[in-house]
């Protein structure tokens, strides 16, 4: 998408710019002042129309030159202004990157010049810096940025202005600001609306953008039936609790903490960390496990990833293979089961010609999953703790051979970068590859009786 | 089952109704089918044949009667009982203290009400089902007493009466009939309502093979606190025909004197507060082998028979209650003035009385028709009819009591009037002796089982090349085609149920409708039969009966038509899918799903 837009833009620049340039040159010879203004107006109009269909994100740094004479100067000015604005942020960033400092920069800019010269560049720079300062999800900051635009200047006053694109660069910048809000899932509020009306008027492009956001955002707000909380719990046990409940999706399922994370000092003076072990099991799963044939093994498998926003956690499951067809016992119908009504009609129906004999193929037989757990350290010893904890509530498990089929997990990664036990950030994956290879060799396959 | 036939039937009953409105025609219509003398024991009853599309008129017309001597006899019983209930039973006190005073109980015993159906040779009154129903009308004036007596004799001692041996009868019935001993029926367990497989109470045979040791606990046992004798159902190990040991249900007569029986605290209930309901637990309670009812492992049949036979009397009980309520509320409506008019002059109040009268009439008709059918010689299986009576009268009773209370407005809501007590007492009727939901399943499935067996048999014969059956089917098809029937999509080729209909057990919403249609059909039959008889013999106010019958039948006819339309495939009236979906979504979340109307998203 983006690529195509860029291409389109380049093309138009390629075709349009020379002709414009030629025309401008001709016109300049004849009637310098009027012609120039006409063409500029015409040109910007064409530009802006195209721009609003494309992504404004790409060419904010490279506005198409309107005039060969101005082009150079413009770039210098812009470059300069960009540098200064970036610089402004950089300078402040040296102290601390917080909302307060960000706001201070904006304040400084607003107060420096009553005309707010270079505010478009400033806003672009500020938008780019927002994630750095951690304010990319802060509505008040966006409103403050909107407030940087001078008021009422860009509001069209007559139908011609309204018809053509009035102050396209500014409108585009406003749209860009709203777009960034949209990308971060921030919904504008009434204050934003008032500001936009004050700045651009009520039928401007930013206003349209605002209206579109306000149309779609509320509609999609609750589209996800399984929302992940914005703020994930810091505590790995709480996080495990949340994620396990999310996987199980069973209101009856009970979370058990088999071991709280703690550190202890052993006799030899070494520091031992005990990882947390948190498991979940529902009554249905307990029933299934109780019915499990003790001669058939159960497997501890994992780790499987689960993404919660930017955090990836890993879980392990206790499962068995699906019953082979010869072991399946059809529960026979007992006519003396219900005191009040026949549970089954005993009609002795035969298959007949023309009966539909096709069968349902949707049911793929899968083995039952008996329990799930999360731990920060997915080695066999730790998982054994989970299994022995499960044995307390599921006595059958003691008689069933338990096989560990663990794959290379995330557990060694903690040495590399420790974002907290049990989970890691997205970006760390490259660093792990060599460890993973090593892991593969010692992939544990043990049998515990 | 052929739904087409239901419509036909519905129509024919409607047709019959029109006839009855004209007395002359009606007499002709009704007297036509003479009852032939049967030589074989009848084991079929009316309701099952309805499922085959047959109206077995011989079963229902004419309306069953009792002889003059019997009538005199029952009247001689009724008068003192009525006197006792109006003068000596203080229902308000019973309800308030949650206990029936001993003097009241003694009064009941003296009247012989503890052994209404126990044969005279065992010291009971030995009354027929019809007479039992008649007495039930009066007994029902106090819910607590009615339930206590019902728990004693409708289910508590019924086991001995139906399946007990001569020795057991001789040993226990006299004391039970006199009320010296009170009986209770112990089936329900914490984990088992209708599910026989989850009964946990165990009876293990001792080593000398002379006693069983009972262990386990039973809940919601009426009379459980003071019953001296209990019919208890427990699992016993039985060696089956194939030599495999299996757990089967066995019924026992357990005396409290055997020891090892403890009763819990009486439950604090919404209604029927005077009746005693509590948990009963058995701890190594020794029961001699000769106290097994029927045979070992045959408890399931005993339980089913007891449950099925105990239900029919609820119709007369409900009608007795409503008749009393009509008298009480009519007096109020006739005396209370608003805007210078009596309440009885307002249309909406009048409607309530019409509803009450109609319901009482229908219940009464159904109850006595069923009782009459049960009293016939042979062993007629009227369990389906009894279940229909129970469902209809419990729901009708609930509506009527509520309407009666409404007539009084706020006064009815206070404890100064008995309406709130009736309302509370009445609520249990929809729950006990098999909840109405379970009974609807019973009605629909038992009927379908019966009809399905016969129809599949016919199909098989036809396949074997029996041309006669084929012609019969063809003839019926032709009749259907000429007689403008609606294809309900429920039946497959030749009107036989779809092969997939074996899974109809799971389609509870369909079954509910089928059951409702059948209940209405039976109610219409009962009403028509009764009013035709009244016209024929010129009973007092028979024109009022005809009016009630007409109104009810028309109403039921339209309701049935609607339900049958709902049964059609793809009918817009059928909302089952949506209903199921709503329920599924709510139950998935286990909460009300919608956002609050005041919630906002921006």
At residue B17, the pLDDT reads 42
Q: Is B200 helix (H, G, I), strand (E, B) or coil?
A: coil
Contact predicate B99/B278, CB 8 Å? no
* Run means of pLDDT, 10 residues per run, chain B, 602 residues: 50 45 39 40 71 85 91 92 93 93 93 92 91 93 94 92 92 93 92 84 91 93 93 90 84 93 93 93 94 91 88 90 94 92 93 96 95 86 92 96 94 93 94 91 90 83 72 66 45 45 78 94 95 94 96 96 87 90 94 92 84
Q: B544 to each of A269, B91, B196, how far by Cα in Å?
A: 101, 32, 47
pLDDT tens for each residue of A314-360: 999 999 988 887 777 777 777 777 777 777 777 766 666 565 656 66
Give A115's Cβ-side CA count (13 Å radius).
Answer: 2
Token pair recorded at residue B598: 């005041």
At residue A131, the pLDDT reads 92
How many residues make up chain B in this entry? 602
Q: Give A-chain residues touching B194 at CB under 8 angstroms.
A: 338-341
ipTM for the complex shown: 0.72
d(Cα B52, Cα B68) in Å, to the nearest integer?
A: 37
pLDDT tens for each residue of A22-33: 444 444 444 444
**A–B: how many Cβ contacts below 8 A?**
78
Q: Is B90 helix (H, G, I), strand (E, B) or coil?
A: coil
Token pair recorded at residue B388: 């229909």
d(Cα B362, Cα B369) in Å, to the nearest integer?
A: 10
Smallest Cβ–Cβ distance between A349 and the set B197, B456, B493 belongs to B456
Token pair recorded at residue B308: 């099925």
Chain A touched by B601 (CB under 8 Å): yes
Token pair recorded at residue B453: 């067996």
d(Cα A416, Cα B446) in Å, to the nearest integer?
A: 71
At residue A446, the pLDDT reads 44
Across the interface, do A342 and B445 touch by the CB < 8 Å criterion? yes
Smallest Cβ–Cβ distance between B304 and the set A251, A339, A350 belongs to A339
Strands B229-239 and B183-186: parallel
Across the interface, do B196 and A342 touch by the CB < 8 Å criterion? no
Asked if B433 is an active-site residue, the reply is yes
- Of chain A, the percentage scoring pLDDT greater than 90 comes to 36
Query: Is B585 exposed, middle or buried (CB count within 10 Å of its CB: 0-12, 13-18, 19+)?
Result: exposed
Among residues A186, A191, A183, which one has the least CA distance to residue A56? A183
d(Cα A51, Cα A205) in Å, to the nearest integer?
A: 11
C-alpha torsion angle, residues B549, B555, B561, B565 (rounded to 10)? -160
Q: A54 to each of A47, A58, A59, A327, B548, how far by Cα in Å?
A: 10, 9, 10, 62, 78
Query: How much helix, strand and coil, in percent to the nearest 5, is found in chain A?
Result: 50, 15, 35
Strands A277-281 and A369-375: antiparallel
d(Cα B476, Cα B459) in Å, to the nearest integer?
A: 14
| Model confidence at A410: pLDDT above 80 | no
Q: Give A-chain residues touching B448 at CB under 8 angstroms.
A: 345
Residue A337 or residue A71, greater confidence: A337
Q: Which of A5-9, A43-47, A247-251 has the lowest mean pLDDT?
A: A43-47
A300 Cα to chain B: minimum distance (Å): 29
What is the DSSP code string of B490-513? -B-GGGPBPGGGGGGGG-HHHHHH
Q: Does residue B15 have a cis bond before it (omega within 30 degrees)?
A: no
Q: Is B184 helix (H, G, I), strand (E, B) or coil?
A: strand
| Model confidence at A447: pLDDT above 50 | no
Smallest Cβ–Cβ distance between A341 and the set B248, B445, B601 belongs to B445
Contact predicate A58/A2, CB 8 Å? yes
Q: Does residue B317 have a cis bond before it (omega within 30 degrees)?
A: no
At residue B29, the pLDDT reads 37
Contact predicate A230/A244, CB 8 Å? no
| Model confidence at A424: pLDDT above 70 | no
Smallest Cβ–Cβ distance between B602 and the set A187, A344, A350 belongs to A187
Which residues is A306 bridged to in the sheet?
A: A313
d(Cα B122, Cα B246) in Å, to the nearest integer?
A: 37
Token pair recorded at residue B552: 């009810």
pLDDT tens for each residue of A139-190: 999 999 999 999 999 999 998 998 888 999 999 999 999 999 999 999 999 9
Token pair recorded at residue B338: 């608003």
Q: Is the dihedral of CA A203, A204, A209, A213 positive or negative?
A: negative
How many residues make up chain A in this entry? 449
Q: Counting runs of H as helices and runs of E as strands, what totals does chain B give? A: 22, 10
B396 Cα to chain A: minimum distance (Å): 22
Mean pLDDT of A405-418: 56
Across the interface, do A339 and B497 touch by the CB < 8 Å criterion? no
Contact predicate A297/A403, CB 8 Å? yes
Query: Is B82 exposed, middle or buried (CB count within 10 Å of its CB: 0-12, 13-18, 19+)?
Result: middle
A248 Cα to chain B: minimum distance (Å): 13
Q: Give B-chain residues touching A218 at CB under 8 angstroms.
A: 601-602
B278 phi and psi, to 5 degrees? -155, 175
Token pair recorded at residue A393: 């509530």
Contact predicate A27/A35, CB 8 Å? yes
Contact predicate A298/A291, CB 8 Å? no
A295 phi and psi, to 5 degrees? -80, -15
């Amino acid at each position: 998408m983006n690529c195509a837009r860029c291409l389109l833009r380049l093309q138009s620049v390629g075709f349009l710019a020379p002709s414009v340039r030629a025309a401008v040159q001709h016109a300049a010879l004849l009637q310098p002042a009027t012609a120039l203004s006409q063409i500029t107006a015409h040109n910007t109009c064409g530009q802006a129309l195209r721009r609003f269909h494309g992504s404004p994100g790409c060419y904010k740094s490279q506005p198409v030159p309107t005039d060969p004479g101005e082009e150079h100067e413009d770039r210098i000015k812009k470059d300069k202004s960009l540098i200064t604005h970036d610089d402004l942020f950089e300078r402040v960033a040296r102290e601390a990157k917080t909302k307060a400092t960000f706001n201070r920069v904006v304040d400084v800019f607003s107060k420096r010049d009553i005309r707010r010269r270079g505010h478009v560049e400033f806003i672009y720079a500020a938008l780019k810096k927002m994630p750095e300062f951690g304010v990319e999800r802060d509505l008040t900051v966006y409103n403050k940025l909107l407030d940087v635009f001078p008021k009422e200047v860009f509001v069209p006053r007559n139908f011609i202005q309204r018809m053509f694109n009035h102050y396209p660069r500014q409108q585009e910048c406003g749209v860009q600001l709203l777009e960034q809000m949209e990308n971060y899932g921030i919904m504008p509020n009434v204050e934003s609306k008032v500001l936009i009306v004050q700045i651009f008027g009520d039928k401007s492009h930013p206003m349209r953008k605002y209206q579109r956001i306000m149309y779609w955002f509320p509609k999609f707000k609750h589209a996800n039936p399984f929302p992940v909380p914005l703020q994930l719990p810091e505590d790995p046990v709480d996080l495990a609790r949340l994620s396990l409940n999310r996987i199980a999706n069973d209101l009856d399922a009970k979370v058990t903490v088999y071991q709280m994370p703690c550190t202890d000092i052993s006799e030899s003076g070494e520091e031992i960390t005990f990882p947390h072990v948190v498991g979940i099991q529902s009554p249905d799963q307990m029933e299934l496990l109780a019915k499990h044939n003790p001669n058939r093994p159960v497997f501890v498998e994992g780790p499987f990833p689960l993404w919660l926003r930017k955090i990836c956690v890993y879980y392990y499951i206790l499962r068995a293979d699906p019953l082979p067809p010869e072991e399946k016992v059809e529960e026979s119908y007992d006519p003396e089961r219900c005191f009040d009504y026949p549970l089954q009609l005993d009609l002795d129906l035969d298959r007949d010609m023309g009966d539909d004999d096709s069968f349902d193929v949707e049911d793929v037989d899968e083995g039952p999953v008996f329990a799930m757990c999360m731990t920060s350290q997915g080695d066999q010893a730790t998982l054994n703790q989970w299994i022995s904890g499960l044995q307390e509530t599921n006595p059958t498990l003691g008689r069933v051979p338990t096989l560990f089929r663990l794959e290379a997990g995330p557990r060694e990664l903690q040495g590399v970068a420790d974002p907290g036990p049990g989970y890691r950030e997205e970006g760390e994956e490259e660093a792990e590859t060599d460890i993973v290879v090593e892991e593969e060799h010692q992939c544990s396959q043990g049998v515990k009786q | 089952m052929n739904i087409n036939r239901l419509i036909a039937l519905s129509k024919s009953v409607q047709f019959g109704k029109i006839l009855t409105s004209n007395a002359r025609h009606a007499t002709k219509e009704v007297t036509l089918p003479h009852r032939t003398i049967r030589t074989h024991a009848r084991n079929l009853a009316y309701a099952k044949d309805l499922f085959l599309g047959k109206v077995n008129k011989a079963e229902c017309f004419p309306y069953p009667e009792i002889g003059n001597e019997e009538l005199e006899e029952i009247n001689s019983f009724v008068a003192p009982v009525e006197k006792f209930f109006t003068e000596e039973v203080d229902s308000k006190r019973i309800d308030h203290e949650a206990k029936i005073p001993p003097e009241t109980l003694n009064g009941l015993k003296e009247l012989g009400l503890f052994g209404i159906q126990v044969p005279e040779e065992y010291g009971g009154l030995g009354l027929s089902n019809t007479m039992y129903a008649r007495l039930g009308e009066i007994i029902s004036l106090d819910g607590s007493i009615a339930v206590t007596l019902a728990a004693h004799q409708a289910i508590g001692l019924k086991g001995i009466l139906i399946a007990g041996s001569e020795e057991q009868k001789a040993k226990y019935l006299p004391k039970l009939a006199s009320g010296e001993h009170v009986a209770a029926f112990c089936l329900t367990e914490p984990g088992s309502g209708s599910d026989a497989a989850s009964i946990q109470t165990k009876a293990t045979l001792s080593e000398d093979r002379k006693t069983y040791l009972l262990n386990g606990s039973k809940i919601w046992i009426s009379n459980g606190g003071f019953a001296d004798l209990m019919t208890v159902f427990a699992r016993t190990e039985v060696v089956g025909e194939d030599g495999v040991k299996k757990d089967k249900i066995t019924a026992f007569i357990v005396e409290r004197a055997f020891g090892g029986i403890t009763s819990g605290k009486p439950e604090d209930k919404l209604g029927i507060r005077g009746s005693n309901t509590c948990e009963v637990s058995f701890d190594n309670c020794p029961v001699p082998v000769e106290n097994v009812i029927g045979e070992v492992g045959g408890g399931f049949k005993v339980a089913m028979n007891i449950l099925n036979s105990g239900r029919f009397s609820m119709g007369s009980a409900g009608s007795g209650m409503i008749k009393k309520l009509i008298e009480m509320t009519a007096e109020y409506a006739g005396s209370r003035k608003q805007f210078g008019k009596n309440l009885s002059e307002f249309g909406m109040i009048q409607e309530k009385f019409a509803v009450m009268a109609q319901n009482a009439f229908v219940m009464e008709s159904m109850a006595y028709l069923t009782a009459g059918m049960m009293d016939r010689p042979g062993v007629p299986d009227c369990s389906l009819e009894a279940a229909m009576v129970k469902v209809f009268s419990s729901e009708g009773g609930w509506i009527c009591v509520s309407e009666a209370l409404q007539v009084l407005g706020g006064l009815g809501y206070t404890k100064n009037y008995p309406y709130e007590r009736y309302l509370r007492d009445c609520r249990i009727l929809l729950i006990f002796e098999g909840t109405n939901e379970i009974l609807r399943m019973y009605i629909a499935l038992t009927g379908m089982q019966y009809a399905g067996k016969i129809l599949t048999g016919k199909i098989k014969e036809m396949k074997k090349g029996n041309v006669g059956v084929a012609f019969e089917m063809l003839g019926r098809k032709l009749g259907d085609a000429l007689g403008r029937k609606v294809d309900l999509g429920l039946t497959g080729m030749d009107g036989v149920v779809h092969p997939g209909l074996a899974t109809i057990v799971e389609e509870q919403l369909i079954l509910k409708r089928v059951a409702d249609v059948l209940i209405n059909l039976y109610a219409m039959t009962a009403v028509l039969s009764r009013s035709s008889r009244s016209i024929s013999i010129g009973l007092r106010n028979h024109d009022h009966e005809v009016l009630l019958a007409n109104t009810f039948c028309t109403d039921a006819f339209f309701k049935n038509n609607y339900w049958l339309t709902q049964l059609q495939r793809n009918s817009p009236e059928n909302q089952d899918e949506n209903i199921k979906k709503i329920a599924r979504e709510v139950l998935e979340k286990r909460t009300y799903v919608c956002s609050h109307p005041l919630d906002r998203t921006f």
